[in-house]
Amino acid sequence: MPKNQTSAAQPREKAGASVVLWLLVGIVVLFGGLYAAAHYVAGDKVPRNTTVAGVRIGGHPQEEAAERLRAGLADRVARDIATTVDGEQVAVDPATAGLSVDYEASVAESGGERSWDPVRLWDYFTGGDASEAVVEVDEAAYNAFLAELDEQHGEAPRDGAIAFAGNRLETTDARAGRALDPSDTLAALESAFLEEEPDVVALEMVEVQPDIDASDVQEALDGFASPAVAAPVVLRFEGSDVKVFPADYTGALSLVPTDGELVPTLDAAVLSEVVAGTVTQGAPVDASVALVGGKPRVVPAKPGVTFDPAELEAGFLDVVAKPQGERTLALTAKVAKPDFTTKDARALRVRERVSTFTTYFPYAEYRNVNIGRAAELIDGTLLKPGETFSLNDTVGERTEANGFTKGYVINDGILVQDLGGGVSQMATTLFNAMFFAGLEDVEHKPHSFYIDRYPVGREATVAWGAVDLRFRNDTPYGVLIDTSFTNSTPSSSGAVTVTMYSTKHWKITSTTGERHNLTKPETRRIDSLTCHANQGFGGFDIDVVRRFEPVGDNTETREDEVFSTTYIPSDTVICTNPDAVDE
């Protein structure tokens, strides 16, 4: 091409390129304007043809659409859902069942969101679908509602169980129940909740299996429960063996349903109480004999043991399920053995009542206090063969600190006040129980003058530091002394009873002679503020004979025993002091 032609074409090409460029810019600006206008028009409005649960909300901004949806569903949300449960009509309140509508989420899921996305803008102008509302479920409310329906119309499953009853086992058979299926029931209610013309929802009960079935029970029986009651467990404390029996320790055992199994559980506090019944922490406790249900029973000895309860707790569940011969749990401990063992106590052969005696006394508060306190201190005394009982040693000095008060005692032939007055009533009752049990009289002293509420010639008095009642158990058996006491009142006499338990060794009979060597009382005039007036009566001598007849295994013979008593007269006392207080 000629050089001058090339130069002329270049301006024309540049002009054409500029036109194209401006045309493209114009198109972009026009499209952008239209796009911006479309975005402005669509905003956050829901696509024009949108319905939610049959309610038209298209073309409205989100907030307005949500309110339109709320208004459109108001009647449906408030109405009951018609159901039948196993054929029985039940109206279900949606709120009670935990059902509600999330209106904002329902609108958002329908596409009512502000966006530059062209698909969103296109959908607004040309689209819109029919969608379901977003239903929220309050799980706590729904579960409570379902539980109430199950309780009213169903039947709860029953877990199999095993209970310990002493050395026996009590089993509960597993049983299937009937209940609504939670998932199916919720789906059915949700489906009918917002329907414009819902059908009646049929809710059917289904069979529900227990967590613990028959196989779980059998497994627990074989693996733990049956072995646990089969034999005692031996606790070995440093070579000293102590047996604990199923009837005692099963109160600490239980089988608890856990994750579909019956799991052995131990109550450590209860087990500690059981072991405390057979041993004591620290010093040992001798065996004894006590009345249980009105009959003498041996109370076993307890070795004094120092051990770690945590070690006992850790090993007990394992050893209690083992077979016989392997049921020994060795514990680290220090042991002190009792001096008087359970075997020793059984050898005493305290088995039956061998004597009993009751005396009565007129009302006086000091008698209630002093006789009752003496009876309390003597009660439960166990006298071994060859041992001697002392009332003064057993009861102790009659002081206020020891629970006694002032009462009348005999001093120089007249009644005066002193601490412990009335205890001689206890001494007399105890003497007679000893007398008819056939025990050996070591020391007793009758009252100075006769008191007519006591058996004549067969009674005793005591005074601290001067006069005692003592008797020896000269039988081959132990003797348990039991006392009982009834208070006197202004309208009724009091009573004290002493009963002795042993093995019958003698049959005792007694005869009382005639009164002889009669003496007359004197009259005394006493000028004292504490004078106690008395109408005197005469004294006399009397003899009482105790006869022994052997019984049972006893081959001994014993001569009659004569108790001779001299009673001095009880003098008449006239109080001359006008201010004397006769209490």
Task: Give the domain range for residue 221.
Answer: 215-346
Distance separating alpha carbons of residues 62 and 68, to the nearest angstrom: 10
Q: Please indicate, yes or no, if residue 131 is contained in any of the structural domains.
A: yes
Is 569 in contact with 530 (CB distance < 8 Å)?
no
Q: What is the mean pLDDT of residues 57-77?
A: 86
DSSP H or E segment with residue 368? helix 365-378
Is 145 in contact with 97 (CB distance < 8 Å)?
yes
Residues 508 and 527 reside in one and the same domain: yes
Question: 463-500: per-residue pLDDT in tens?
Answer: 999 999 999 999 999 999 999 999 999 999 999 999 99
Residues 522 and 554 reside in one and the same domain: yes
Q: What is the mean pLDDT of residues 522-537?
A: 82
Is 485 in contact with 371 (CB distance < 8 Å)?
yes
Predicted local distance difference test score (pLDDT) of residue 12: 58
Distance separating alpha carbons of residues 366 and 358, to the nearest angstrom: 19
Residue with the two structure tokens 């074409």: 9
Boundary of a domain, candidates 283, 317, 346: 346
Distance separating alpha carbons of residues 397 and 395, to the nearest angstrom: 7
Residues 440 and 360 reside in one and the same domain: yes
Predicted local distance difference test score (pLDDT) of residue 410: 63
Res 382 pLDDT > 90: yes
Question: 431-452: per-residue pLDDT in tens?
Answer: 999 999 999 999 999 998 899 9
Predicted local distance difference test score (pLDDT) of residue 39: 40
Residues 330 and 467 reside in one and the same domain: no
Strand pairing report for 201-203 and 81-85: parallel
Residues 224 and 330 reside in one and the same domain: yes
Residues 117 and 262 reside in one and the same domain: no
145-149, 163-167, 519-523: segment of lowest average pLDDT: 519-523
**CA 570 remoteness from chain centre:** 61
Q: Please indicate, yes or no, if residue 583 is contained in any of the structural domains.
A: no
Predicted local distance difference test score (pLDDT) of residue 16: 56
Q: Which two tokens stand for residue 509?
A: 């009979």
Given pLDDT bands bounded at 50, 70 and 90, which one contains residue 197? confident
Predicted local distance difference test score (pLDDT) of residue 38: 39
Q: Please indicate, yes or no, if residue 296 is contained in any of the structural domains.
A: yes
The winner for highest mean pLDDT among 248-252, 301-305, 438-442 is 438-442
Is 60 in contact with 128 (CB distance < 8 Å)?
no
Residues 45 and 74 reside in one and the same domain: yes
Residues 284 and 365 reside in one and the same domain: no
Backbone angles phi, psi at 238, to 5 degrees: 50, 45
